[in-house]
């Protein structure tokens, strides 16, 4: 077996092996002694009960002191390793974990939230935990850490991943129907990868509603692909018919924004037929009005993709240093001016021959990507290739230039 050399796992394993080792030794010793005595004093040899007891102070002292010492060393060894589990090393990264029926949410110092716990390899991580509803228990078998989470009280654990990888997180305290589904993971990334991940968030391509669903852990119970879970799937909800139980009566309705709002704010009021009334209510403290609206819009298919801020072509030109050689006002610098570029004809040198062309999109894309291929006559071939630009950025720049 390949035991992990992880600090918390090591502490627990050491004590386990120590106690288990002595227990095994005692078990073997007692079993051997029992068998020996059973054979030695068997009935055929001693048909009548006899008394052959002799007092031995030495023997009695030995079998009292020895086990006492063994048990005390077990206590000492267990206690010192337990302290290691409770004393968080300095420089630990702090993460706040929130447990709810039936999902985990992790919040990082910069405010970002995830439903998986992302950590860098090699750095201690302190997870401070609480619950918003009932008792749960944060259990990561790979790191041998396990701690209750309680509503209104903070508990903590720490661990340090020594190998990149994905490690299961379970809830180890029965907390209702979805208990067994309350699973997520520690994602341990190499430090460089973690640094990239932890960079100030770039505007995500994902719709806000989807991000909220993931942050709030909704997807732990409600699938997004139509598969069945603890709750109904959230796949293509718009216009679907639902049979609901409300006040002991069945009713049917078409899913719309009002229904979704009620189902999130007061899920206990109307229960979809065939499901248990187990969803916790998301009040405005947990889920802001704005986020609720984003979720509803997303669920009803009103948003496909978040709108991206348009690329600022002028800024790209400036940042890439283009304006150092190409003026915008018609003056000659090192390269041709950008002014009036959209309807200019130029003479270029291609394969040693001169050619007159009208400047268009294709030409400009080429001129940025491989400036030395078609040089405008009369200019030195010194422009560097803009191959560090993405296609999108080049498109934006070309659009911008054609309008000059």
Name the site residues for ligand CUA (rule: CB under 6 A): 99, 102, 136, 171, 173-175, 179, 182
Give the pair of three-digit tokens for residue 357: 């062309």
> Measured from the CB of residue 401, what is the shortest distance to ligand CUA in angstroms?
58
| Separation between Cα atoms, residue 105 and residue 98, nearest integer Å | 5
In the bound state with ligand CUA, the residue whose beta carbon lies nearer, of 10 and 155, is: 155
- Helix count and strand count (H, E) for the chain: 9, 16
> Measured from the CB of residue 229, what is the shortest distance to ligand CUA in angstroms?
15
Give the pair of three-digit tokens for residue 35: 């068998």
Helix (H) or strand (E) holding 246: strand 241-246
First to last CA, the chain: 69
Give the pair of three-digit tokens for residue 263: 């189902």
> Measured from the CB of residue 253, what is the shortest distance to ligand CUA in angstroms?
31
In the bound state with ligand CUA, the residue whose beta carbon lies nearer, of 117 and 260, is: 117
In the bound state with ligand CUA, the residue whose beta carbon lies nearer, of 119 and 182, is: 182
Sequence-distant (6+) residues with CB within 8 A of 297 are 207, 209, 303
Tell me: cis bond preceding 341? Omega within 30 of 0 counts: no
Nearest one of 98, 136, 154, 94 to 286, comparing CA atoms: 98
Give strand pairing partners of 119: 188
| Separation between Cα atoms, residue 143 and residue 11, nearest integer Å | 10
> Ramachandran region of residue 54, left (φ > 0), alpha (ψ -120 to 50) or beta?
beta
In the bound state with ligand CUA, the residue whose beta carbon lies nearer, of 140 and 244, is: 140
> Measured from the CB of residue 157, what is the shortest distance to ligand CUA in angstroms?
15
Backbone angles phi, psi at 335, to 5 degrees: -110, 175
In the bound state with ligand CUA, the residue whose beta carbon lies nearer, of 172 and 389, is: 172
In the bound state with ligand CUA, the residue whose beta carbon lies nearer, of 172 and 269, is: 172
In the bound state with ligand CUA, the residue whose beta carbon lies nearer, of 99 and 397, is: 99
Nearest one of 318, 329, 315, 325 to 384, comparing CA atoms: 325
> Measured from the CB of residue 149, what is the shortest distance to ligand CUA in angstroms?
8
């Amino acid at each position: 077996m390949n035991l992990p050399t992880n600090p918390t796992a090591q502490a627990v394993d050491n004590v386990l092996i120590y106690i288990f080792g002595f227990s095994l030794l005692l078990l073997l010793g007692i079993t051997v002694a029992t068998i020996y005595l059973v054979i030695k004093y068997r009935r055929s040899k001693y048909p009548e009960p006899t008394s052959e007891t002799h007092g031995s102070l030495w023997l009695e002292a030995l079998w009292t002191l020895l086990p006492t010492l063994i048990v005390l060393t077990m206590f000492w060894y267990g206690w010192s390793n337990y302290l290691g589990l409770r004393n968080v090393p300095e420089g630990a990264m702090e993460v706040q974990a929130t447990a709810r029926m039936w999902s985990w949410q992790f919040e990082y110092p910069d405010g970002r939230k995830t439903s998986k716990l992302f950590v860098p390899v090699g750095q201690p991580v302190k997870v401070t935990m609480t619950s918003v509803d009932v008792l749960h228990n944060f259990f990561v078998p790979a790191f041998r850490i396990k701690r209750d989470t309680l509503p209104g009280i903070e508990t903590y654990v720490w661990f340090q991943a020594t190998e990149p990888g994905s490690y299961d997180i379970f809830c180890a305290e029965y907390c209702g129907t979805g208990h067994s589904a309350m699973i997520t993971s520690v994602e341990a990334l190499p430090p460089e990868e973690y640094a990239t991940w932890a960079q100030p968030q770039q505007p995500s391509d994902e719709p806000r509603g989807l991000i909220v669903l993931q942050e709030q852990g909704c997807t732990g119970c409600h699938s997004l692909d139509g598969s069945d879970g603890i709750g109904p799937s959230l796949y293509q909800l718009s216009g679907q018919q639902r049979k609901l139980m409300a006040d002991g009566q069945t009713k049917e309705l078409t899913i719309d924004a009002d229904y979704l709002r009620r189902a999130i704010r007061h899920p206990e009021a109307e229960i979809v037929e065939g499901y248990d009334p187990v969803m916790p209510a998301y009040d405005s403290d947990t889920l802001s009005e704005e986020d609720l609206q984003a979720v509803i819009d997303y669920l009803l298919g009103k948003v496909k993709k978040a709108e991206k801020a348009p690329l600022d072509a002028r800024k790209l030109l400036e940042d890439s240093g283009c304006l150092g050689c190409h003026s915008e006002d018609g003056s000659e610098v090192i390269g041709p001016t950008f002014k009036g570029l959209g309807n200019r004809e130029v003479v270029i040198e291609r394969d040693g021959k001169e050619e007159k062309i009208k400047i268009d999109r294709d030409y400009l894309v080429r001129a940025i990507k491989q400036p030395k291929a078609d040089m405008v006559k009369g200019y030195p071939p010194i422009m560097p290739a803009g191959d560090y630009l993405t296609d999108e950025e080049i498109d934006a720049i070309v659009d911008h230039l054609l309008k000059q």
